[in-house]
Structure 1
Amino acid sequence: MILAGRAHKFSDDVNTDYIISGKYKFKTLDMKELAKHVMEDLDPDFYRKVAPGDFIVAGANFGCGSSREQAPLAIKHANVAAVLAKSFARIFYRNAINTGLPVLECDTDGIEPGDELTVDPAAGVITNRTKGTVIPAKPLPPVMIKILNDGGLAAHFRKYGGFNFD
């Protein structure tokens, strides 16, 4: 799985209420509707600017706050290919993988808004095509890559009847 798109950059401590405001989470479970409001408290034009395959790039502690799965699901339904951050809140990280959203830990200081990126989650390599630089990332284990390729944990379980480590 090789991903390619543009960077949309955010700061440290982006909590799940910034990702998708609680005022929407409790009104609907329609992910296409929620996706229209992803990141709007930090960037009101985000949904209009993001193109399929783009990346959210952030600092440390991305996804802190509540443990609701709507946050990574809404990001995924906004056609974001992956989230790249210095670190993630633990529950957000697991929810992201479980819902089929790739998340990679890396140094995001060298990535600017609009930079064109190529990301290889299995190898842990991010290429900034705009700057001609390579940024190492923590590679995802093969079982997580398999879960992501299957569309998330529920789809993986349906496909294999449980975890498949082969």
Structure 2
Amino acid sequence: MIKGKVWVFGDDIDTDVIIPGKYLRTTDMQVFADHAMEGIDPDFSKKIKPGDIVVGGNNFGCGSSREQAALALKFAGVACVVARSFGRIFFRNAINVGLPLMEADVQCQEGDEIEVDLENGKATVNGKQYSGNKLPDFLLEILNDGGLVAHRRSMMGKK
């Protein structure tokens, strides 16, 4: 169960606004965090608190295949992203870096509290429950382990 304050974004939020290209030459996660969502809300990284949740519309994370978009949100403190749909590459990158996400059509306002139940594919806002896509168990395992690299390491230790 993931619970946090909502930050609302609309449809077609592409990776260029999640982390602008001029910051891609670094491997410093703090730089990614400091500039997360800068292309749409220049003050986002100053306002977000660890554990907050991004709620988007259709096609969240569309655009380029930059893994840094998911990393920027994760290191900015975003606990989960809920959207009606995701760009497929962003979806996989988020899983790979350990950023939880769920596809659901959630109606909420910025500042609302949301509770996300990834295991059952449910989100609750203001007492109203929304059904979403439940992630397959193998993807939940990857997320629970902190991402694909950590998951593979844990699997090697189980052999």
Q: TM-score, normalised by structure 1?
A: 0.92
From 104, 108, 112, the equivalent of 1:115 is 112
Unaligned runs of 5+ residues in structure 2 are none
Deviation sequence 1:43-66 (CA, Å, 0-9, x none): 111111111111111110011111
Number of positions where the alignment pairs a residue of Structure 1 with one of Structure 2: 159
Alpha-carbon distance in 1 for matches of 2:127, 2:90: 30
Q: Given the superposition, is the C-alpha separation of residues 83 and 163 from structure 1 closer, same or farther in structure 2, using an over 3 Å criterion?
A: farther
Alpha-carbon distance in 1 for matches of 2:35, 2:132: 28
Unaligned runs of 5+ residues in structure 1 are none
Counterpart of 1:31, as a letter, is M
Deviation sequence 1:138-157 (CA, Å, 0-9, x none): 11111111100101011100
Q: CA deviation at 1:125?
A: 1.1
Counterpart of 2:73, as a letter, is I
* RMSD value, Cα: 1.5
Matched, 1:158 2:148: no
Pairing of 1:87-106 with structure 2 (within 5 A): 87-106=85-104
Q: CA deviation at 1:85?
A: 0.5
Q: Given the superposition, is the C-alpha separation of residues 116 and 145 from structure 1 closer, same or farther in structure 2, using an over 3 Å criterion?
A: same
Quote the residue 1:43 is aligned against: 41
Alpha-carbon distance in 2 for matches of 1:37, 1:48: 9
**Seq. identity, %:** 52
Moved over 3 A (4+): none
Counterpart of 1:93, as a letter, is F
Contact kept in structure 2, 1:156 and 1:162, CA below 8 Å: no
Quote the residue 1:73 is aligned against: 71
Alpha-carbon distance in 1 for matches of 2:74, 2:157: 23
Q: TM-score, normalised by structure 2?
A: 0.95
